Amino acid sequence: MTAANTKLSRTPAGGPGLRGRLSDLSSRHRSIAVIVGMSLVALVLPLIVLLPPFSSFSGQTVWMDGFTIAGIYVLLALGLNVVVGLAGLLDLGYAAFFAIGAYTYALAASPFTGWDLPFWPMLLVGAVVAAIFGILLGAPTLRLRGDYLAIVTLGFGEIVPIVILNSSKYTDGPNGIGGISPPTLLDTRFPTTGNPWPFYLTMLVLIILSMIFIYRLQDSRLGRAWMAIREDELAAAANGVNTVVTKLLAFAIGASTAGLAGVFLASKLQTVTPNLFRFDVSFTVLAMVVLGGMGNVWGVAVGAFIIFMIQSVFLKQLNIFFNNVQVPILSDIDFLQYQFLLYGIALVAMMLLRPEGLFPSRRRRRELHTEEDEVFAEHGDAMGAAPE
Amino acid sequence: MSGQGVTTTTQPSSTSGNGAAGDVVLELRDVHTYYGKIHALQGITLEVREGEIVTLIGSNGAGKTTTLKTISGLLHPRAGTVHFRGRDVSHTPAHKLVRDGISHAPEGRRIFSRLTVMENLQMGAYTRTGREIDENVEHVFSLFPRLAERSGQKGGTLSGGEQQMLAIGRALMARPKVLLLDEPSLGLSPILIQQIFGIIREINAQGTTVLLVEQNAQQALEVADRGYVLQTGRVILADTAANLAANPDVRRAYLGEI
Amino acid sequence: MTTTTTVLSARPSFVETFQRLRLGPYLFVLGVAAIDYVVIGPNQFVNALTIGAIYALVALGYTMVYGIIELINFAHGDVFMVGAFTSMFVLTQALGQDGPIDSPGMLAVVLFINFTITMIALGILGAAIERFAYRPLRHAPRLAPLITAIGVSFILQNIIQIIYGPSPINTPQVIDPAARVEIGGVSIGVVNIFTIVTAVLLMIALQMLVSRTKIGRAMRSTASDRDAAQLMGVDINRTIAITFFIGSALAGAAGVVQGLYFGNIQFTLGFQAGLKAFTAAVLGGIGNITGAALGGFVIGFVEVTAGALGFFVWGQAAVFAVLIITLVFRPSGLLGQQLGERT
Amino acid sequence: MKLRKLGGLALGAMLVAAACNTGGGATATPGAPAPGATQAPVDKGTLKIGVTLPLSGGAAADGQPTMKGAQLAVDQANEAGGIGGYKLELMVLDHAVNGKYNEQQGAQDMQTFVGDSAVVGVVGPYNSAVAKVQIPISNDAGVLQCSPANTNEALTKPEFGALDYRKNFPERINYVRVAATDDIQGPAMAVYDFNTLKLRNLLVVDDVTTFGKGVADNFQKKFEELGGTVQRVGAPADTTDFNSIISAAKPETDGVYYGGVVTSGAGLLLKQLRQQGKTFPFTGPDGIVNGSGKAEGALIQIAGAAASAGSYGTIAAIGDFPGRADFEAAYAEAFKNDADFNTAGAYSGPAYACATIILKSLEEFLKTSPDADQAAIREGVRAWASDTSNTFDTVLGTESFDKNGDTTQPFISFYVVDPAAADGAGDWVFKEQLNFAQE
């Protein structure tokens, strides 16, 4: 208790005044840093794949298409990081919001409904619709303890695909929705093959905007409230934080980012099916956030990118490589198949050995390493195992 | 101030037979304990002799409860040692110390609310077996007849005073050499407080050494043989209870005198 | 479970006694069962009781672990799955069985050995998971053990997948699945009866263990107040390990029963079953053993009723809907205390 | 067929040593590609045939034998000296994620193929759901895609919404398939159930997938037209407990149709049916005809040989073709070193046929334009294959495609389980095949 209070007092109250202005300034710098950093990434990635080890696998357009899909996961990880990393709420059904975003656009711009609403405003609509579902789910359950939320979201993540599958009238069920319009800019439709630049750059802009938005939130009063809740909800409440509203905002913002990613996916694939949003998407994104470093915006972005590339390129190449060279045991191992074994080992090892992730934020590392000593944790008499 | 004879009371059940003062059963030497990064005990040195009632007094946050937790093994010192009957127990876990003879009735009673009174007592004798338990239960019931009446009731349904009796009775079930009592009078009516302190005397008279932490310094110094005054994790004063009760600084700071 | 009989002798102020005995939840479940029986008929009712019994056995592990260390052990569903595979291994490799056993004596011996070995093996697995994956994180932020549990779940699934492959695998049904007996004019499968009776017996045994024995008291006191329990001389680590052992052993028993009943198992078995069993535990009031058992049966009713009424695909959604509704309107579940209640 | 010897050029890089031995088999197989007889033996480089299938985890049992069918055709073509001076290379991409087909990965793999200008045609996919995300990409790029196994009618037929998938170039047919569609396969079994098995009241269960629900819908429509009644239930593929469905079946039920593929579901449904004493016929589409009682994860293996008696299934392709024995022998010889997949699967032949069609189109195009660049070759192959007037001699017989890219020889083959086959483990045996070309 005392420990939590002292920790809490470390975070300033925010608001106007010199300190507020200072943090404003630093966040503005951060925005510039994000723009500069991501622009560098945007330039370097297409160039690096022209170099030997990469260029031998596939051509630049293929690589860039892969990067674009990886960007979807980066976006998802950024959003889930708000929920898990910043606010400390475990969301295990994150793919549900991804699905909601994707189906929102699929219904808005496909022959299934006959509508053809433009992509750009739909990005926002998809995000808002996902956020609304996030609030509808979160409002009643966020009052409960954090691990209940994990289970409720897991259940929600299961229900959404089931509902989509079985509401053929509105979603065409397992058939999915095809013929979704790609985005148009200045009356030109984005090419779905051949020229990957429009989708690539769009994704990049989405990531930059999301990162800046999340950084700003993180440095705001809201961000500090999230951190306070993550550390000690009771203490946060005692310090005047409206915990339910604050958690709800984290949940809604996380959901809306997934919605954004969903709209983008639908326009990129031009077809959506319920199968795209199974629980393994939720768990993959969670692994990305944990491995990247919960709470660290850059960390999870980089983590997501690397993990996606490992699973979609590296493991495949490993398979092909060992199949070709015919190493006795290794060529029998199917590396793709054991992707989740690797995730599992990584999650456990990470929590035991390096809970702050591969790319930790400085603050998070400090927090996670203070509690190593024998602490007399205050356990309440929450629930006895007593019968009757 | 009447007080029990400061160090002169002979202990009827004292087995050591080492004179009136008794052996040192418990000794803390320069103990430093932390909560995470918070330096809660900053070098506590104290001793408790067999048969004594020793009290720790001090304001909130002085480290009284932390000292008890460090002795009973719920916390372990980062520096310094705790010796119990000549053995270094600084890093012995709590559940083993119970077996060795240290019982701790923690602050806030911490009784098992969903276990019955009888089950709570049985838990107290967790380290004991068979007939011993029955004897101990009888012993506790003789000290606290109210508990006998309520033995089938859930601990959570007891009144505050009854819960305190249960907490003390439960601690006694292990037949401790040293009983650590943390704020036994907290939240009780004056009559009940009198009753509880009477029982503490009785327990002590029956041969149990008591280390008592109390907000109610007045009462504590009345029953205790000696006392230590703690402030911000340090011992600032150690003396007989009578002397402490007479000390003007103590009277001003802890006994409510202006 | 036993309190239902006490009400018959209750004379003074019925309402008062009713409230004191907290019979509401039991009557609720009985009512659900009765209505369900009328709606879906005896055959479906037996189906519901059977799968409900399996869910209940798995739910016990969730509830015990949550009760004692407040961790949702995500890996528990997969422990159940490992139990099913262990049982298959024991039956086929150690006992050389591949189908129904005719001689009742022989059958009893085989089942006894199978249950014993599987439950002990799974108990050890559960305790080992606790020791290596959860204990080091006992003082870490809450999120850490939850994430570890998810990792352990992946690891268990993939290890079984590596050993037995991804395809569903047949496991010997030593109790002839076609054998049926007539009870009250209803033809019931012998394996159904065996499943239900086994589950109920295990639950009663667990109840006795928890309420009557020293280790049971240690578990309850640890759940109630870990530090106070420690001050009583309870070895917390050992008690928590034993809790994991018992919970996992019960999941192992559920795995045995699963194999006997369905005759086919797959490495993915644990995910769905785990979610449903967890729902059962929450519905019953997590931390409450009787509640978990009741919850398991209710989930069985919900699922089977959906199937019986022709909404099979909605069955799973209905189970999760039950979970969400429970958490929203009665987070303490049927029998549990209010969340976070400190008395 | 004349084999032209090349100076050991192509032989060096052969992955499968056994391919050397299949030389004789290749000439005997009607579908063996005709090598570029008229071309001068110059090395023009390598062209690629893509294969997009789920190949790992639980999907391996479906994907691997199918992939190997295509591999056999390409190996044989290389052994025969390549085509038009080009060597051929199989480019295999697996879109199973965590052991199950994954549409998004399938889309990415198709991007990889279209992004590699050496890819002149693609064999696959296996699952209709994956085709739905791949066709928009391959259509946009104009890459020929030949699926050995897709049966969902919406992929090709405009009246079922196929134009949604080839939105960019609706008139450009780049997706062809050798399997009959579900609007043929489903009704075919409905007629068989009604007329041959004399069933009237069916329990129809589907696995709530694109394929399963689609084929069951088609089945139900036809069966009801014929005068039967249907009780319809959806049960997701990972369902293990069908007891409540079985108990809920109407008392007059005299048979079951299962729409879907076997994960564990169909096998458990069959097993639990028999355990509840229901001995009526169990029928289904190609998804349930997936190997003998010895094959891991196959329907007969899960349900057991005895329980599988009375099971009937269809294959949306020709079952009894002239060169079948030869093909299976060639396959077994070529892959005898592969412990898991050394016998041909239900879609090995169709995949072999698909590869043959791509190779044949390539050969014909190179005859007229030997010096075309890769982009022109790609388009030439697509145009030749989708030209409704062209025919292909394949292992499945003579194939040609209609204006939507569907086979003009939509055969449905009927199979029944013989519990005594496969040394008592039970296996599917061929009963009859019908050509639904005029439907």
Per-residue confidence (pLDDT) for residue D265, from 0 to 100: 78
Q: Flag whether C276 is in a domain.
A: no
Partners of B240 in the β-ladder = B226
C contacts of B152 (beta carbons < 8 Å): none
Task: Determine whether domain A31-51+58-379 maps to CATH 1.10.3470.
Answer: yes
CB contact under 8 A, A265 and D104: yes
Q: Are strands A188-189 and A184-185 parallel, antiparallel or unpaired?
A: antiparallel
Work out the mean pLDDT of chain C and round it to a whole number. Answer: 87
Who has greater pLDDT, B150 or C256? C256
SS3 A168: helix
Q: Residue D53 in 3-state DSSP?
A: strand
Chain A: nearest CA to D64, how far in angstroms? 13
pLDDT tops 80 at residue C223: yes
Alpha helices in D121-234 (DSSP H): 128-141, 182-191, 210-225
Asked if residue D38 has pLDDT above 90, the reply is no
Of the pLDDT bands very low, low, confident and very high (cuts 50, 70, 90), residue A21 is low
pLDDT attached to residue D276: 86
pLDDT of res. D189:
94
Q: Both tokens of residue B120?
A: 């709570």
C221 Cβ contact partners less than 8 Å away, ≥ 6 residues apart: B112, B115, B123, C228, C229, C232, C234
Chain D residues with beta carbon closer than 8 angstroms to that of A175: 132, 152, 154, 210, 213-214
> Quick check: D279 pLDDT over 60?
yes
First to last CA, chain B: 18
Residue B36, min C-alpha distance to chain A (Å): 6
Q: What share of chain A is helix, strand, coil (3-state, %, to 5)?
A: 70, 0, 25
Chain A partners within 8 Å of D161 (Cβ): 111, 178-179
Q: What is the pLDDT of residue A336?
A: 66
**Strand ranges for B198-241 from DSSP E:** 209-213, 226-231, 234-240
Contacts of C260 in chain D (CB under 8 A): none
Kind plus residue range of the DSSP H or E element containing B31 = strand B24-35
Instruction: Find the chain D residues whose C-beta atoms sit closer than 8 A to any C-beta of A.
Output: 56-57, 60, 92-94, 96-99, 101-105, 107-108, 111-112, 114-116, 129, 132-133, 136-137, 140-141, 152, 154, 161, 163-165, 167-168, 208-210, 212-214, 234, 236
* Count of domains for chain C: 1
Q: Tens digit of pLDDT for each residue in C271-325?
A: 889 989 999 998 888 888 889 999 999 999 999 998 888 888 888 888 888 888 8
CA torsion D168-D171-D177-D182 (nearest 10°) is 90
CB A300 within 8 A of CB A292: yes
Residue to test with chain B: of A373, A383, A388, most B Cβ within 10 A: A373
pLDDT of residue D101: 87
Confidence grade of residue C19 (pLDDT, cut at 50, 70, 90): low
Residue in C68, C159, C323 closest to A151 by CB: C323
* A91-144 tens-digit pLDDT: 889 999 999 999 999 999 988 888 888 889 999 999 999 999 999 988 888 877
Distance CA B108, CA B86 (A): 30
Gap from D17 CA to chain C (nearest CA, Å): 28
Which structure tokens are listed for D271? 């097993």
What domains are defined for chain D? 4-179+320-408 (3.40.50.2300), 182-315+413-435 (3.40.50.2300)
pLDDT of residue A360: 67
**Dist. CA B209–CA B205, nearest whole Å:** 9
Residue of chain D minimizing CA distance to A343: D98
Are the Cβ atoms of A269 and D104 closer than 8 angstroms?
Answer: yes
Nearest-neighbour CA in chain D from A210: distance (Å)? 23
Contact list, B36 vs chain A (CB under 8 Å): 3, 370-371, 373, 375
Identify the three-state secondary structure at position B91.
coil
Asked if B34 and B12 touch (Cβ cutoff 8 Å), the reply is no
Which residues of chain B are within 8 Å of residue A374 when distances are taken between CB atoms?
A: 75-76
Pick from A267, A257, A164, A261: nearest CA to A213: A257
% of chain C exceeding 70 in pLDDT:
91
Confidence check: pLDDT of C10 > 70: no
Mean pLDDT throughout B221-226?
Answer: 91
Q: What pLDDT was estimated at residue C333?
A: 82
Query: Can you tell me the distance from the alpha carbon of D56 to that of A320, in angstroms, rounded to the nearest whole number?
Result: 13
A236 pLDDT exceeds 50? yes
Say which residue the tokens 């034998």 belong to: D65
Q: Nearest to residue C278, comparing CAs of C297, C291, C292?
A: C292
SS3 call for B133: helix
Mean pLDDT, to the nearest integer, of B43-49? Answer: 92
Instruction: Look at residue D37 and tell me whether its pLDDT is greater than 60.
Output: no
Q: Which positions in chain C touch B104 (Cβ < 8 Å)?
A: 231
Tokens encoding C235:
């070895």
* Residue A339, both tokens: 């992707």
Residue found under tokens 């409206």: A242
Task: State the pLDDT at residue C178.
Answer: 84
Kindly tell me if the per-residue pLDDT of C265 is higher than 60: yes
Q: Tell me whether residue C218 is in a domain.
A: yes
pLDDT in tens, B189-207: 888 888 889 989 999 998 8
Scanning C169-198 for CB atoms below 8 A from A yields none
| Contact assignment for C262 to D304 by CB distance below 8 Å | no
Round to whole Å and give the CA distance between C45 and C32: 11
The percentage of chain A sitting over the pLDDT mark of 90, rounded to a whole number, equals 25
Question: Three-state DSSP class for B172?
Answer: helix
Give the structural domain span for C161: 58-270
Distance from CA of A199 to the nearest CA of C (A): 34
Q: Is residue C127 within 8 Å of C244, Cβ to Cβ?
A: yes
- Considering just the CA atoms, what is the radius of gyration of chain C in Å? 20
pLDDT for the residue B7: 36
Dist. CA C154–CA C119, nearest whole Å: 22
The total number of residues written for chain D in this structure: 439
Chain D residues with CB inside 8 Å of C267's CB? Answer: none
- Antiparallel, parallel or unpaired: β D144-147 and D119-123: parallel
Pairing between strand B87-88 and B79-84? antiparallel
Task: Output C239 or A185, whichever has higher pLDDT.
Answer: C239
**Is there a domain that residue C265 lies in?**
yes
Cβ–Cβ under 8 Å, residues D242 and D207: no
Cβ-nearest to C307 among D231, D244, D302: D244
Q: Assess if residue C287 is contained within a domain.
A: no
Tokens of B166: 């249960």
In whole numbers, what is the pLDDT of chain D averaged over residues?
Answer: 84
**Amino acid occupying residue B228:** Y
Closest partner CB to C316 (pick from A162, A349, A351): A162
- Closest CA in chain D for residue C178: D275
Between chains, do C43 and D247 touch, taking CB under 8 Å as contact?
yes
Q: What share of chain C is helix, strand, coil (3-state, %, to 5)?
A: 75, 5, 20
Dihedral, CA atoms, C307, C311, C315, C317, nearest 10 degrees?
180
Please report residues of B whose CB lies closer than 8 A to that of C236: 95
Rounded CA separation D294/B223 (Å): 85
Cβ of C312 and D238 within 8 Å? no
* Percentage of chain C modeled with pLDDT above 90: 48
Determine contact: D208 vs chain C, CB below 8 A: yes
Better-scored residue on pLDDT, A362 or C169: C169
At residue A378, the pLDDT reads 33
Instruction: Please indicate whether, in this complex, the C-beta atoms of A386 and B115 are within 8 angstroms of each other.
Output: yes
CA distance B229 to B246: 13
Distance CA D302, CA D253 (A): 23
Q: By the CB < 8 Å criterion, does C155 face chain A?
A: yes
Number of residues in chain A? 388
Q: Is the pLDDT of residue C336 over 90?
A: no
Sequence-distant (6+) residues with CB within 8 A of C10 are: C17, C18, C21
Smallest Cβ–Cβ distance between A376 and the set B37, B74, B115 belongs to B74
Interface contact flag, D111 A193, Cβ < 8 Å: yes
Q: Residue D258 — pLDDT band, cuts 50, 70, 90?
A: very high
Is the CB of residue C241 less than 8 Å from the CB of residue C50?
no
| Closest Cα in chain C to B174 | C232
Of C151, C288, C336, the CB nearest to A347: C151
Say whether D119 sits in a helix, a strand or coil: strand
Please give the single-letter amino acid code of residue A282. S
Cβ <8 Å between B126 and C220: no
Q: Which of C47, C88, C316 to mutate to test the interface with D (most CBs of D within 10 A)?
A: C47
How does pLDDT run across D162-206, given as a tens digit for each residue?
Answer: 888 888 888 899 999 998 899 999 999 999 999 999 999 999 999
pLDDT at res. D198:
93
**Predicted local distance difference test score (pLDDT) of residue C3:** 40
Whether C208 maps to a domain, the answer reads yes
| Tokens 């001090």 -> residue | B58
Distance between CA atoms of residues B195 and B172, nearest Å: 17
Q: Closest residue of C to A145, CA-based? A: C339
Tokens describing residue A117: 């609403």
Q: Is B60 exposed, middle or buried (0-12, 13-18, 19+ CB in 10 A)?
A: exposed
The stretch D340-345 carries a mean pLDDT of 82
Rg (C-alpha) for chain A, rounded Å, is: 22
Cβ of B131 under 8 Å from any chain A Cβ?
Answer: no
CB–CB of A246/A65 below 8 Å? no
Digit-coded pLDDT (tens) for D216-246: 999 999 999 999 999 999 998 888 889 889 9
Shortest CA gap A152–chain B (Å) = 28
**Residue A113 contacts D, CB cutoff 8 Å:** no
CB C80 within 8 A of CB D280: no
**pLDDT at residue D5, rounded to an integer:** 36
Higher pLDDT, B77 or A44: B77
In terms of CA atoms, which chain A residue is nearest residue D98? Answer: A337
Q: Is pLDDT above 50 for D252?
A: yes
Q: How big is the A-C interface in CB pairs under 8 Å?
A: 198
Question: What's the rounded mean pLDDT across residues B138-152?
Answer: 88
**What is the DSSP-derived secondary structure letter of residue D96?**
E
- Residue C201 included in any domain: yes
Mean pLDDT over residues D31-58, rounded?
70
* Alpha carbons C71 and A315: distance in angstroms, whole number: 33
**For residue range A247-282, what is the model confidence (pLDDT) as tens digits?**
999 999 999 999 999 999 999 988 898 888 988 899
pLDDT at residue A364 in the model: 57
Residue C14 within a domain? no
Is there a contact between C224 and B112 if contact means CB atoms under 8 Å apart? yes
Q: Band of the pLDDT at A26, cuts 50, 70, 90?
A: low
Instruction: Sort strands B53-58 and B226-231 into parallel, antiparallel or unpaired.
Output: parallel
Could you tell me the pLDDT band of residue A37, with boundaries at 50, 70 and 90? confident
* pLDDT of D143 strictly over 60: yes
CA distance D202 to D204: 6
Contact call for A and B: 3+ CB–CB distances under 8 Å: yes
What are the extents of the domains in chain A?
A: 31-51+58-379
Would you say residue C237 lies in a domain?
yes
Question: What's the whole-number mean pLDDT along residues A12-25?
Answer: 54
Q: Flag whether pLDDT at A1 surpasses 60.
A: no
Cβ pair A2:B35 closer than 8 A: yes
- pLDDT of residue A23 exceeding 70, the answer is no
Residues D137 and A192 sit within 8 Å (Cβ to Cβ): yes
Distances (CA, A) of B142 to B157, B199, D254: 21, 11, 78
Closest C-alpha among A52, A333, A285, A311 to residue A153: A285
CB within 8 Å: B114 and C225: no
Distance CA B23, CA D92 (A): 84
Q: Is the pLDDT confidence value at B132 over 60?
A: yes
Q: Which helix (H) or strand (E) holds B84?
A: strand B79-84
Report whether pLDDT(A13) > 70. Answer: no
Tens of pLDDT, residue by residue over C233-244, are: 899 999 999 999
pLDDT of residue D9: 33
Residue D209 pLDDT greater than 90, yes or no: no
pLDDT at C1 over 80: no
pLDDT of residue C82: 97
ipTM above 0.90, yes or no: no
Asked if C275 lies within 8 A of A148 by C-beta distance, the reply is: no
- Give how far D278 is from chain C: nearest CA, Å: 11
In the numeric block, which tokens belong to residue D359? 């190779």
pLDDT, position A327:
64
Q: Cβ atoms within 10 A of the Cβ of D35, count? A: 24
Q: Do chains B and D touch (3 or more CB pairs under 8 A)?
A: no
The whole-model pTM stands at 0.86
Q: How far is CA D170 from the centre of its chain?
A: 24
Find the residue in C nearest to B113 (Cα). C343
